[in-house]
Amino acid sequence: MRLFPRLFLGHLLVILVALIALFLVVEVSAPSFYRHHVEQMTALIGPEGRALRPDLERGMRRTLHSALLAALPFAVGVAALTASLTSRRIVHSVRLLSEGSQALAAGQYARRLPETGRDELADLAHNFNVLARSLERVEQDRVALIGNVGHELRAPLAALRGYTEALTDGVMTPEQAAPALRREVRAMARLASDLGLVSRVEAGRVDLHPTPFSARTLLAAALERFGDAYGERGVTLVVPEACPAPQVRADFERALQVLSNLLSNALRHTPPGGRVTLTVQEAGGQVKFAVQDTGSGIPAEHLGRIFERFYRADPARTRGEGSGVGLTIARGLVEQMGGHMGVTSGGGGSTFTFTLPGA
């Protein structure tokens, strides 16, 4: 049997039970009620009223029964109409949910249900829409990821094709082509490695080994790693002498990876003669690191998306430099270590900050 007939018959059965219960209650409780009134009436009439007592009781009983029977069709009609409307609304909501579920199963993630009312059915429609929006976002991310990976691979693949054709045609010798081929292979390997890491970061499956260490040790390791690169670019890397050295409890290698990513980004976006400043301070049980550059800054409309995978504020300028998921990885690692990452930017450069738990 379909849902609507079952709901409707179920409502009617409840109504029938309620009516039977009503008649039983009336039969049990009414006699004491109208006998009390008959006693009052016979007392007012006098001795002659005693002879009328049986007729009065029968008359009141007939009147009560007649009133109940007269009201019965109207009550049943109203109850049936109410049951029909209620059943239809429930069935309509279930049908919409069923059709929406079939649409989602078919990949139509833009499907939404109307959210009317304030009951559980409205909550169900709202939860369905939340699920649909989440699936739609996942699908959009999947399509964007495939497109971005293809775009990122296109450049090194085109370069590899060009060099191999040059080798085949004898335009280049193997010795001449080898450095360029190695460079493009390294770019593809880096992209593959970063994609694997970003998937583990977003799934929360990165192994972390937190240990206590000094913030000064982390800064020194970053300076050692990037000192030569900054010198070759003509960009000054500064750590203030008065910079404090609080203790941090985190995974040192992952923390260095985060800081290295920010320093690499700052170097790419800071022109020769510019400066990048590293600072650290304690803030409410957390240790806050900041990387401030004197580059062109990030437009305000891009700040909200700067940590998204493959998102670039200036695609033409940065394409090919890095895998495009470095900031996504950095934020994921910081959050898994119990910290938070943020960015501010103006006309005089950008400042990336991240916090790590204090030891």
292-330 confidence digits (pLDDT tens) = 998 888 888 778 778 877 666 655 444 445 556 788 888
Domain that holds residue 223: 211-357
**CB count in 10 Å sphere of residue 124:** 16
Domain boundary among 203, 223, 243: 203
pLDDT interval class at 348 (50, 70, 90) = confident
Domain boundary among 57, 90, 108: 108
Pair (85, 147) in one structural domain: no
Write down the number of H helices and E strands in the chain: 9, 7
Residue 219 placed within a domain: yes
Tokens for 113, please give them. 């249900």
Residue 198 placed within a domain: yes
Pair (215, 190) in one structural domain: no
Given strand 349-357, what is the order of strands in its sheet? 236-238, 275-283, 286-293, 349-357, 341-346
Burial 155-176 (b: 16+ CB within 10 A, else e): ebeebbeebeeebeeeebeeee
Pair (173, 229) in one structural domain: no
pLDDT the model gives residue 315? 52
Pair (351, 243) in one structural domain: yes
What does the pLDDT average to over 281-295? 89
pLDDT the model gives residue 339? 92
Pair (36, 91) in one structural domain: yes
DSSP per position, 138-186: HHHHHHHHHHHHHHHHHHHHHHHHHHHHHHHHTSS-HHHHHHHHHHHHH
pLDDT interval class at 250 (50, 70, 90) = very high
Q: Which of 197, 164, 192 is nearest to 180 (CA)?
A: 164
Residue 298 placed within a domain: yes
* DSSP SS3 for 12: helix
List pLDDT tens digits, range 50-85.
666 666 667 767 777 777 777 778 777 877 777 777
pLDDT the model gives residue 276? 92
Pair (309, 225) in one structural domain: yes
Pair (81, 13) in one structural domain: yes
pLDDT interval class at 289 (50, 70, 90) = very high
Task: Assess whether pLDDT exceeds 80 at residue 241.
Answer: no
Give percent above pLDDT 70 in the chain. Answer: 84
What is the rounded CA–CA span in Å between residue 257 and residue 333? 9
pLDDT the model gives residue 51? 62
**Backbone torsion region of residue 352, taken as left when φ is above 0, otherwise alpha when ψ lies between -120 and 50, otherwise beta:** beta
Residue 125 placed within a domain: no
Pair (220, 344) in one structural domain: yes
Burial of 354 (0-12, 13-18, 19+ CB in 10 A): buried
Q: Which amino acid is at 36?
A: H
Pair (310, 233) in one structural domain: yes
| Residue 184 CB-half CA count within 13 A | 17
Does the model's pTM come out above 0.75? Answer: no
Task: Assess whether pLDDT exceeds 80 at residue 142.
Answer: no
Residue 64 placed within a domain: yes
Task: Assess whether pLDDT exceeds 80 at residue 27.
Answer: no
Number of domains in the chain: 3
Pair (166, 101) in one structural domain: no
